[in-house]
Structure 1
Amino acid sequence: MIKNYIKIAWRNLKRNKAYAAISVIGLALGIACGILIFTLITYHLSFDNFHKNPDRVFRMYTEWHDDGIGRSQGVPQPLGKTFRSDFTLAEKTARVINFRNNLITITKGNDVKKFREESGVVFTEPQYFDILNFPLLKGDKKTVLVRPGEAIITEKIAHKYFGSDNAIGKVIRLDNKVNFTITGILKDLPPNTDRKQEIYVSYGNMDEYTDKGREDNWGGVYSGSEAFTRLKPNVSVAQANAAMALIVKKHYTGRDLKVWMFKLQPLNDIHFNADLDGYADKKYLWALFFIGVFLIITACVNFVNLATAQALNRAKEIGIRKVLGSLPHQLFWQFIAETALITLAAVVIAVGLSYAALPAINHLFESEMQFDKGQLLLFIIFVSIVVVFLSGSYPGLVLARFQPILALKSKLSQKHIGGFSLRRILVVTQFSISQVLIIGAIIIVSQLNYSQTADLGFNKDAVVLLPIPQNDKMKLSTMRNRINQVQGVEKVSYCYRPPASQSNNSTDIYYNNRAESEHWGINTKQGDENFLSTFGIKLVAGRNFFPADSTREFLVNETFVKKLNLKPQDVIGKTISIDGKSIKAPIVGVVKDFYNYSFHTEISPICIMPDYRGYSTCAVKINMLHAKSSLASLERIWNETFPEELYSYEFLDDSIRKFYEMDKIQLKLVEAFAGIAILIGCLGLYGLVSFMAVRKTKEIGVRKVLGANIQHVLWLFGKEFTKLLLIAFVIAAPLAWWAMHNYLQDFKYRITIGPGIFLVSILSTFIIAAITVGYRSIIAALANPVKSLRSE
C-alpha cells in the first residue's frame, strides 16, 4: 500500500512540475533557516558546559548600589585570595588577571620574532585549571604555574611560535618587561568557551609586570581582574554571598558599606549576561527561535495555499477514485505521501543550503560552528514530521471530503475546497511576518546610521591611533616633534585612550573638599594639552589646562556639572580629588559633553587631566590627501622610537564602529531572514493568484466579451491583494513597533520610530507583491475569452 501511495504521488508530482518545484523551494528555504537557527542556538547554549561540575562553578562579580546599580565582571584583586583564606565554602578558588593586545618577543640567537596577541595574556593562579577543564597535554599539572616565571600555552600558540620544535623550556618575553619559561602545553581551547586567552603566566609575576599596590587595593576594579570558585557540594550560593557580605564589612567603612557588594555568577550565565560583558543576550536567541518557527510556518502556509489551489484540477481524479472504492482515509494518506515526497526533496536541498551557508554564518559571527550530526538528524526528523502533517493534513482532508458526483460533474465550488477565506488568512499570515521583519530591518539600519553619523561631541575622522608601549618622557617628546614635521599631520596628542573607547577607568570623586565622595563615579581620561584640539572637543567655560607632565589642573564635562546641580561657571576654580584623594587639583575648564562609550550607554561624568605615566595612545590628526605618505612616515618614526616593539595603528572611526558589531550582525540576520520570508510569501501569493485565475476563468471571459479591457481584469486581482496586504500591515505594524521599541531600549541615545518607517515598509511590500502577481494576472487577462467560456 505504501509503495502504491509513493508511486502515485510521484506520478502526480511529475505531472504538476511547477507546483512541485514551488512547493519544494518554499519548504527548502524555510527548513534551511530552521536548521541554521537551531545550530546557532544550540552552539551558544553549549558554551562552557564541558567543565566538570559546572553547576558548582561560579565567577565573582562586583555590584555597586549608589546612583543606580552598576555591575562589573571585574573584582578587586584581593577578593579571591580573601574568600579562599577566610572561608572554607569552596573546594578551589583562583584569580586571573587578563591583559589584551600584548607583545610577545622570542629571541633565538640573533633572530628576534615579535607577535601581537589581541586575545592577550592571563596572569593565573594554578587552581584555575582545577576549576575549569582545560586539559594539559605536556607538563605536570600539580606544579604548573606554581613558581614565578612560568608560562603555559596552547598547541596552536606553540606551533605559531616554534613550529615543529618542542616548546617546553623555551622562553617568551611579555611586553619587553618579564621573561617566562614555558612549562606546559594546553590542548587547544574548544570554540564554545568564553575563555579566549591562549597564554597563561604565573600570577606571582603580577607585581613585576604592573603596579604593586593592586594586591591590597579594595577601592579599584579592573574589568580584567576576575575570580573563579568551585563551591563544595553542600554549599549554597546564598551562603557564599553571605560570606562575601562579611568581606565587605571587614574591608570597607562608612558609606562604602552600603555601596559595595560582591556576588556569584553561575558559569552558564557568563555567556548570556550583557550586564557582565556577556556575548549573546538570551532575548536575541529567543527572537531567533521565533523567527525560525515563523519561517517554517510561512513555508507550510505557502504549501497549503498551493495545494488547495490545485484541488480543483484534481477533482475528477478524486471522484473516480471514490467511485472505484477508495475510502477517505486512503485519499488522506495518499496526499500525505505526496507531501512527504515534497518534504523529503526539500530537506535534502535544505541540508545542502545549510552546509553552503554555514561558512558565511561563521564568518559573520567570527565563530567555529559545526553541525552535530546526531542533533541535526533528530532535528530534521522532528521538523520533517511536523512539516508533513502541518502542510499535508488540511489539503488531504479537503480532497478526502470531495463528493464524487459533484467532482465528476465539475460542480465543485470554492466552499468544497476549503473556501477562499482560508487562503486569504494564510496570505495575511505570511505577509504579516514578512512586514514585521521588513520594519525591523529598516529600524536597525536607521539606528546604526544614527549611531555612526550623529554628532559625538568630538571629531572622529582622519585620526590615527598609535600605541605607546613605553612612558619615557624624552622619547615621547622627541617622537611628537618628529611627527609634527611630517607632511599632512595637523595635530598630535598623547592620551590614555581616545574620547570614546571600550577601555575606560572610573573612580570615586570628592568635590570642593567635601568629607564624603559623591554618589557617582567619574570617568578619568589622561590627555595632554592638545587633547581638545586634536579631537575637536569644545570648551563651554573656563580654559584649557597648561602643558604639564603630571596632574595640576582638571577639565570636566557638562554631565559632571549637571550631577552637582550647578552651572559651568560655578565649578571653575573648585578643587576635586580622585583615586581615593591621591590626586587633587582645581577645575580650570568645562568641556561640551561627548560620548565616551557607545550609544548603548549614557554619557558619564568625565575629568580630563595631564599625566604622562597614563598615556598609552598617540593620536595624530592627518590630512587625508597626504594619508599614504603620512602613514608611511608615522610607521618609520614609531619604529625608530620603539625598535623593540611591534608597530600597529588604527583609525578612530574604525575603532568606534566596533561598538556596533553585534548590531550589524543582527541587521544582516534580519535582512537575510526578511528576504527569505518575502520570497516564501511571494510563492504563496503566486499560489493564491493561480487559484483565483482558475476560479475566475469564466468570469474573466464574460467580462472581456462584454467589453472589459486588460486594466479592469487586472484590477480584479489587484483589489483582492491590496485588501490582504493592508490587513497584513495593520496586524504587523503594532507587533513590529512593540518588538523594535524593546530593541531600542538597549540604546540610551536612539531614533524615534516615526510613520516614515512604516510607509517605506508598506510601499516596498506592495511593489514586491505587484511584481509577484503581475505575471500570472496578465496571463489570465490576456487569455482568449472563447477558450475561457468553453473551459470546464
Structure 2
Amino acid sequence: MIKNYIKIAWRNLKRNKAYAAISVIGLALGIACGILIFTLITYHLSFDTFHNNSDRIYRLYTEWHDDGVGRSHGVPQPLGKTFRNDFTLAEKTARVINFRNNLITITKGNEVKKFKEEDGVAFTEPQYFDILNFPLLKGDKKTVLVQPGEAIITEKIARKYFGSDNVIGKVIRLDNKVSFTITGILKDLPANTDRKQEIYVSYGNMDEYTDKGREQNWGGVYSGSEAFTRLKPTVTLAQANNAMAQIVKKHYTGRDLKVWVFKLQPLNDIHFNADLDGYADKKYLWALFFIGIFLIITACVNFVNLATAQALNRSKEVGIRKVLGSLPYQLFWQFIAETALITIVAVIVAVGLSYLALPAINHLFQSQMEFNKMELSIFTIIICIAVIFLSGSYPGLVLARFQPILALKSKLSQKHIGGFSLRRILVVTQFSISQILIIGTIIIISQLHYSQTADLGFNKDAVVLLPIPQNDKVKLNTMRNRLNAIQGVEKVSYCYRPPASQSNNSTGVNFDNRAEEEHWGINTKTADENYIATFGLKLVAGRNFFPADSTKEFLVNETFVKKLNMKPQDVIGKTLSIDGKSITAPIVGVVKDFYNYSFHTEISPICIMPDYRNYSTCAIKINMRNAKASLASFEKIWNETFPEELYSYQFLDDSIKKFYEMDNILLTLIEAFAGIAIVIGCLGLYGLVSFMAVRKTKEIGVRKVLGANIQHVLWLFGKEFTKLLLVAFVIAAPLAWWAMTNYLQDFKYRIPIGPGIFLMSIISTFIIAFITVGYRSVIAALANPVKSLRSE
C-alpha cells in the first residue's frame, strides 16, 4: 500500500512539475532558515557549558550605586585574593588580568620575530585552570604558573610561533618588558567559550609589567581585571553575595560604603548579559527563534495554497478513486504521501543550502559554528514530520471529502473544496510577517545611517591612529616634528584615545574643593594641546590649555557643566580634582559636547588634560589626496622611532564602525530573512492567484464575451490582493512599531519612527505583490474565452 502511495505520488508530481518545484523551493527555503537559526541558537546556548561543575562557577563583578547604577565585569585587583583568604565559601578562587593587542617577541640567534596578539595575554593565578576546564597537554598542572616568569600557550599559538608544539623551555617576551619561559601547552580552546586569550603568564609578574600600586588599589576598576570562583556544593549564591557586602564594609568608608557593591555572576550568564559586556543578548536569540518558526509556517502556508489550487484539477481523479472503492482515509494518506515526498526532497535541498550558507554565517559572526550531525538529524526529522502534517493535513482532508458524482460531472464549486477565507488568512499571515521584517530592516538601516553620519561633535574623517608603545618624551617630540614635516599632514596630536573610543577611563570627581565628591563619575581623556584642533572640537567658553607634560589645567565638556547646574563661563577658573584628589588643577575651558561612546550610551561628563605618561595613541589629520604617500611615510618614521615594535595603523572612522558590529550583524540577518520571507510570500501569492485563476475561468470567459477588457479582468485579481495586503499591513504596522521601539531603546540617541517608514514598507510590498501576481493574472486575462466556456 505504501509503495503504491509513493508511486502514484511520484507520477502526480512529474505531471505537475511547476507545482512540485514551487512547493519544494518554498519549503526548502523555510526549512533551511530553520536549520541555520537552530544551529545559531544551540551554538550560543552551549557557551562555556563544558566546564566541570559549571553550575557552581561564578565571576565576580562590580556595581556602583550612585547617580544611577553602573556595572562592570571588572573588579578591583585585590578583591579575588580577599574573597579567597577571608572566607571559606569557595573550593577555588583565581584572578586573571587580561590585556589586549600585545606585542610578543621571539629571538632566535640574530632573528627576531614579532607577533601582534589582538586577544592579548592574561596574567593568571594557577587555580584558574582548576576552576575552568582547559586541558593541559604538556607540562605539570600542579606547578604551571606558580613561579614568576612562566607561560603556557595553546597548541595553535605554539605552531604559529615555533612551527610545532615541542616548545617547552622556549622564551617569549611580552611588550619588550618581561620575558617568560613556556612550561606548558594547552589544548586549543573550543569555539564555544568567551575566554579568548591563548597566552597565559604568571600572575607574579604583574608588578613588573604594570603599576605596583594596583595590588592594593580598591578605588579603581580595570575592565580586564577579573576573578573567578567555584563555590562549595553547600554554599548558596546569597551567602556569597553577603560575603561581598562584608568586604565592602572592611575596605571602604564614608559614602563609598553605599556606592560600591560586589556580586557574583553565574558562568552561564556571562555570554548573554549585555550589562556586563555579554556577546549575545537573549532577546535577539528569541527574536531569531520566532523568525525561524514563522518562516517554516509561511512555507507550509504556500504548500496549502498551492495544493488547494490544484484540488479542482484533481477532482475527477478523486471521483474515480471513490467510485472504485477508495475510502476517505486512503485518499487522505495518498495526499500525505505526496506531501511527504515533496517534504523529504525539500529537506534534502534545505540541508544542502544550510551547508552552503554556514561559512557565510560564520564569517558574519566571526565564529566557528559546525553542524552537530546528531542534533541536526533529530531536528530535521522533527521538522520533516511537522511540515508533512502541517502542510498535508488540510489539503488531504479537502480531497478526501469530495463527492464523487459532483467531481465526475465537474460540478464542484468553492464550497466543496474548502473556504477561500482560510487561504486569505494564510496569505495575510505571510505578508504580515514579511512587512514586519521589511519595516524592521528599514528602521535598523535608518538608525545605523544616523549613527554613522550624524554630527558626533568631532571630526572623524581622514584621521589616522598610530599606537605609541613607549612614553619617551624625546622620542615623542622627535616623531611629532618629523610627522608634521610630511606633505599632506595637517595636524598631529598625542592622546590616550580619540574622543569616541571603546576604551575609556572613569573616576570620581571633586569640584571647587567641595566637602565631598560629586555623585557621578567623570570620563578622563589625557591629550596634548593639539587635541582640539586635530579632532575639530569646539570651545564654548574659556580657552585651550597651554602645552605641558603633566596636568596643570583642565578642559571639561557641557555635560559636566549641566551636571553641576551651572553655566559654562561660571566654571572657568574653578578647581577640579580627580583620582581621589591626586590630580588637582583649574578649569580653563569648556568644549561643546561630543559623543565619547556609541549612540547606545549617553554622553558622559568629560575632562581633558595633558599627561605624556598616559599617551598611547598618535592621531594624525591628513589630506586624503596624499594618503598613500603619507601612510608610507608614517610607517617609515614609526619603525625608525620604535624599531623593536610592530607597526600598525587604523583610520578613526573604521574604529567607530566597530561600535555597531552587532547592529550590522543583526541588520544582515534581518535583510536575509526578510528577503526569504518575501520570496516565500510571493510563492504563496502565486498559489493564491493560481487558485483564483482556476476558480474564475468561466467568469473571466463570460466577462470577456460580454465586452470586458484586460484591465477589468486584471482588477478582478488586483482588488482581492489589495484588500489582503492592506489587512496584512494593518496587522504588521503596530507589531513592527512595538518590536522596533524596543530595539531602539538600546540607543540613547535614536531616530523617530515616522509615517514615512511605514509608507515605504507598504509601497515596496505592493510593488513586490504586483510583480508576483501580474504574470499569472495576465495569462488568465488573455485566455481565449471560447476555450474557457467550452470546459462546461
Q: What is the TM-score when the length of structure 2 is the normalising length?
A: 1.00
1:616-765 mapped onto 2 (5 Å cutoff): 616-765=616-765
Which moves more between the two structures, 60-69 or 401-410? 401-410
Q: Conserved in 1, the CA contact under 8 Å of 2:26 and 2:683?
A: yes
Residue of structure 2 in register with 1:163 after alignment? 163
Deviation, 1:123, is 0.3
Residue of structure 2 in register with 1:508 after alignment? 508
Deviation, 1:130, is 0.2
1:116 aligns to what SS in structure 2?
A: strand
1:587-602 mapped onto 2 (5 Å cutoff): 587-602=587-602
Cα-to-partner distance string for 1:66-109 (whole Å, 9 max, x where unaligned): 00001000000000000000000000000000000000000011
Residue of structure 2 in register with 1:488 after alignment? 488
Deviation, 1:418, is 1.0
Measured in 2, the distance between the counterparts of 1:582 and 1:764 equals: 61
Residue of structure 2 in register with 1:257 after alignment? 257
1:174-193 mapped onto 2 (5 Å cutoff): 174-193=174-193
Measured in 1, the distance between the counterparts of 2:160 and 2:167 equals: 10
- The one-letter amino acid paired with 2:250 is K
1:40-55 mapped onto 2 (5 Å cutoff): 40-55=40-55
1:508 aligns to what SS in structure 2?
A: strand
Measured in 2, the distance between the counterparts of 1:309 and 1:784 equals: 21
Measured in 1, the distance between the counterparts of 2:400 and 2:643 equals: 84
Measured in 1, the distance between the counterparts of 2:401 and 2:734 equals: 39
Residue of structure 2 in register with 1:398 after alignment? 398
Q: Conserved in 1, the CA contact under 8 Å of 2:528 and 2:548?
A: yes
Residue of structure 2 in register with 1:277 after alignment? 277
Measured in 2, the distance between the counterparts of 1:566 and 1:209 equals: 43
Measured in 1, the distance between the counterparts of 2:518 and 2:601 equals: 20
Residue of structure 1 in register with 2:375 after alignment? 375
Measured in 2, the distance between the counterparts of 1:9 and 1:618 equals: 72
Measured in 2, the distance between the counterparts of 1:164 and 1:615 equals: 38
Deviation, 1:322, is 1.0
1:4-23 mapped onto 2 (5 Å cutoff): 4-23=4-23
Measured in 2, the distance between the counterparts of 1:427 and 1:160 equals: 55
- Tell me, which stretches of 5 or more residues in structure 1 are unaligned? none
Residue of structure 1 in register with 2:102 after alignment? 102
- The one-letter amino acid paired with 1:329 is Y
- The one-letter amino acid paired with 1:280 is A
1:284-323 mapped onto 2 (5 Å cutoff): 284-323=284-323
Residue of structure 1 in register with 2:152 after alignment? 152
2:428 aligns to what SS in structure 1?
A: helix
Deviation, 1:419, is 1.6
Measured in 2, the distance between the counterparts of 1:334 and 1:707 equals: 44
Measured in 2, the distance between the counterparts of 1:304 and 1:520 equals: 61
Cα-to-partner distance string for 1:410-449 (whole Å, 9 max, x where unaligned): 1111111112111111111110000000000000000000
Measured in 1, the distance between the counterparts of 2:473 and 2:780 equals: 83
Residue of structure 2 in register with 1:232 after alignment? 232
Which moves more between the two structures, 490-499 or 8-17? 8-17
Measured in 1, the distance between the counterparts of 2:164 and 2:657 equals: 39
- The one-letter amino acid paired with 1:198 is E
Measured in 2, the distance between the counterparts of 1:300 and 1:570 equals: 68
1:152 aligns to what SS in structure 2?
A: strand
Give the aligned CA root-mean-square deviation in angstroms: 0.6
1:586 lines up with 2:586 in the alignment? yes
Deviation, 1:4, is 1.1
Residue of structure 1 in register with 2:117 after alignment? 117
Cα-to-partner distance string for 1:316-353 (whole Å, 9 max, x where unaligned): 11111111111111111111111000000000000000
- The one-letter amino acid paired with 1:710 is I
Residue of structure 2 in register with 1:90 after alignment? 90
Measured in 1, the distance between the counterparts of 2:138 and 2:740 equals: 51
1:374 aligns to what SS in structure 2?
A: helix
Which moves more between the two structures, 407-416 or 734-743? 407-416
- The one-letter amino acid paired with 1:512 is D
Measured in 2, the distance between the counterparts of 1:250 and 1:111 equals: 52
- The one-letter amino acid paired with 1:480 is R
Q: Conserved in 1, the CA contact under 8 Å of 2:165 and 2:185?
A: no
1:361 lines up with 2:324 in the alignment? no
1:442 lines up with 2:453 in the alignment? no
Q: Conserved in 1, the CA contact under 8 Å of 2:155 and 2:165?
A: no
Distance 1:396 1:216, change over 3 A: same
Measured in 1, the distance between the counterparts of 2:109 and 2:35 equals: 54
1:266 lines up with 2:266 in the alignment? yes
Which moves more between the two structures, 706-715 or 541-550? 706-715
- The one-letter amino acid paired with 1:261 is V
1:332 lines up with 2:353 in the alignment? no
Measured in 2, the distance between the counterparts of 1:686 and 1:69 equals: 54
Measured in 1, the distance between the counterparts of 2:255 and 2:405 equals: 89
Measured in 1, the distance between the counterparts of 2:197 and 2:528 equals: 33
- The one-letter amino acid paired with 1:396 is G
Measured in 2, the distance between the counterparts of 1:336 and 1:106 equals: 67
Cα-to-partner distance string for 1:189-243 (whole Å, 9 max, x where unaligned): 0000000000000000000000010000000000000000000000000000000
Measured in 1, the distance between the counterparts of 2:771 and 2:244 equals: 65
2:343 aligns to what SS in structure 1?
A: helix
1:71 aligns to what SS in structure 2?
A: strand
1:441-460 mapped onto 2 (5 Å cutoff): 441-460=441-460
- The one-letter amino acid paired with 2:353 is L
Residue of structure 2 in register with 1:553 after alignment? 553
1:242 aligns to what SS in structure 2?
A: helix
- The one-letter amino acid paired with 1:256 is D
Deviation, 1:706, is 1.1
After the TM superposition, which segments of 4 or more aligned residues of structure 1 sit over 6 Å from their partners? none
- Tell me, which stretches of 5 or more residues in structure 2 are unaligned? none
1:779 lines up with 2:754 in the alignment? no
Cα-to-partner distance string for 1:147-168 (whole Å, 9 max, x where unaligned): 0000000000000000136211
1:456 aligns to what SS in structure 2?
A: coil
Measured in 1, the distance between the counterparts of 2:617 and 2:446 equals: 32
Q: What is the TM-score when the length of structure 1 is the normalising length?
A: 1.00
- The one-letter amino acid paired with 1:222 is Y
